[in-house]
Amino acid sequence: MPQVAARINNEQERWLKDYFRTKSAGAEFILPWAVDTFFRAITAFKGAFSPAELKTIVEAHKDVRLVPDTTRGSYLLLRVMDACELGNAHVLHGASKSTLEAKIKRLDDTQATALMVWASAYWVSRTCSAETLDEYIRLY
């Protein structure tokens, strides 16, 4: 099985040891579960957003470093609405701000987190460019 090196804090390490006896046993369960949960969340709302809305969401996550404390629906809404109000991201990509806001509000925190991770991942991918954004959205 491939190895992955993850960084966790002391509280998370203690939690893994308490629930799974060892940190490794916990990590071997949690990481695949998190990946599966991410893809289930993406699949669950795949058709809910238009390409213009997805581009707006991706645009809102440029130069963003996600941390667990800021991955929930309220932060997604704040980030996207700020990008619309301050940078006209919705206008740039042809999306309706009010429709996008309503759709984001319907997401639960797991779905919002998956969408934030997906949007942020574009900016750190090796193929990130203006030309590849359409491809990234299409593969979504």
| Token output for 8 | 């966790």
Within 10 A of 82 (CB to CB), how many other CB atoms are there? 12
pLDDT class of 1 with cuts at 50, 70, 90: low
How many whole angstroms separate alpha carbon 33 and alpha carbon 31? Answer: 5
Average of per-residue pLDDT across 24-30: 89
What is the pTM for the complete model shown? 0.83
Write down the pLDDT at residue 44: 81
Write down the pLDDT at residue 89: 96
Domain boundaries, the chain: 10-44, 51-139
**Chain mean pLDDT for the chain:** 90
Phi, psi dihedral angles at 22 (to 5 degrees): -130, 155
Q: Give the list of residues 6+ apart from residue 96 with CB closer than 8 angstroms, or none.
A: 53, 90
> Is the confidence at residue 49, as pLDDT, over 70?
yes
